[in-house]
Chains A and B, each alone.
Chain A
């Protein structure tokens, strides 16, 4: 989805009447809605969506619009990617409501999963400050939970596991838990 206000401003900056049919977005929102609802759950009357990330202009845009300025014009305001969480029909004029922080447990699809990280607390080299940084980074990145194992016996052999650079140089296998 993309904001009506952005489309109007971009068209003005580019000196054209409209770019609404060139952006390859599915929904135009009014009231500066798309930016504000990023990462929140959204309800269009009957349809529930979840904001995933803000778009940047992509290569397809150039194919439908010859002006090179369109990339610069839509930089950092090229709409919101959202996952559709429930069946339904979105009609022109439907109201948008925010459901930030709420849980919609009955919806189907992969967005019904919460993502957590397993705390590598049993690693022989881990330090307290590493664990605190790991937990705070996970929280800042929006992970749902941290999981901790319950063992008093630690195996001597550790298998290589994926490393997530933004979490620091700590082995961090990602787990998925179904709500």
Chain B
């Protein structure tokens, strides 16, 4: 996404979608906010709970079966994304 943002000027970039249970929310928020600022606000973050069990196992993520049951699987990372930096604004659509 950063590679292509550097090669363009206006078009936006969306994660379709970023799998929330895979990622550390603070590091991800830092990456996204840096990319958003460097691309002049062209980042759109799409978050999902994931569907590919092999990836959960490869990444040693929380159990695949629990990905949608846990109330924090999406809401907590989203909250942390928003709080991690004051320059990164987010909105639940």
Contacts and interface: CB of A to CB of B under 8 A. Distances in A.
Interface of A: 116, 118-119, 128, 131-132, 135-136, 138-139, 143-153, 175, 177
B13 A152 contact: no
A119 B13 CA distance: 10
B59 interface: yes
A39 to B, nearest CB: 13
A146 B18 contact: no
A148 B3 CA distance: 12
Given A131-B4, A132-B4, A135-B4, A148 B11 contact: no
A135 B14 contact: no
A145 B44 contact: yes
B8 interface: yes
A150 B12 contact: no
A150 B8 contact: no
B69 interface: no
B92 interface: no
Contacts of B55: 151-153
A145 B5 CA distance: 11
6 contacts: A135-B4, A144-B11, A147-B46, A148-B14, A150-B17, A152-B59
Contacts of A119: 4
Contacts of A139: 8-11
A132 B48 CA distance: 26
